Chain A
Amino acid sequence: AQSVTQLGSHVSVSEGALVLLRCNYSSSVPPYLFWYVQYPNQGLQLLLKYTTGATLVKGINGFEAEFKKSETSFHLTKPSAHMSDAAEYFCAVSDGAAGNKLTFGGGTRVLVKP
């Protein structure tokens, strides 16, 4: 069975500061890893995904994540936070074989202070 742990259910950052959201996963097979963002009263939007190949993945809105197999981690970062980054972020894992079934972490809500 797969699982995802997101450290910190709430993160507060100042505008312009580094955003770091932590994600650790458990998977018995090489995983596909995803970060999604959810704005209030909206669905989820894909930020980035790792499938194979380069371990540093760049996504939309200036976000990037690095797949570290030895640490079973897929942390999300953005060098400089913007007010529009205030949202909830979800890390998810899939083994690809189980169709489009994603296992999500509990989410991290980001607050950006001016």
Chain B
Amino acid sequence: KAGVTQTPRYLIKTRGQQVTLSCSPISGHRSVSWYQQTPGQGLQFLFEYFSETQRNKGNFPGRFSGRQFSNSRSEMNVSTLELGDSALYLCASSFRAGGPGELFFGEGSRLTVL
């Protein structure tokens, strides 16, 4: 059974640009969550999607957005990139929305903003 797949794994952008990250969940999983990991702030919840609907959102500015498609694949977008957006972005999938289900994490997309 394939795991959670995130693309691209590494990318470099400059300030002001926008970026789109993709996440393919484990087959059969309908919940996709996104987390940002930085050395300073640690792991922070961005948002969760279930059946194409955003169920929960973390405390991030509106520049961060996401969506989920009918096949459960998800994308997140960051517009007007800032240096502080440099981070590892982790996607996690789960069979259901709501705890205490296990989250299965991808290897992440490492974004560097110059």
A residues within 8 Å of B by Cβ? 32, 36, 41-46, 49, 51, 90, 92, 94-107
Contacts and interface: CB of A to CB of B under 8 A. Distances in A.
Given A43-B108, A102-B45, A103-B45, A96 B103 contact: no
Given A32-B99, A51-B100, A94-B99, A99 B105 contact: no
B10 to A, nearest CB: 10
Contacts of A97: 98-99
Contact of A100 (B31, B42, B90, B108): B31
B43 interface: yes
B33 A100 contact: yes
A102 to B, nearest CB: 7
14 contacts: A43-B4, A43-B106, A44-B92, A45-B105, A46-B104, A51-B99, A99-B97, A99-B99, A100-B33, A100-B99, A101-B48, A102-B45, A102-B103, A105-B42
A49 B100 contact: yes
The number of chain B residues touching the other chain, given as a range, is: 20 to 34
Contacts of A96: 98-100
A17 B52 CA distance: 47
A43 B4 CA distance: 10
A104 B31 contact: no
A102 B47 CA distance: 11
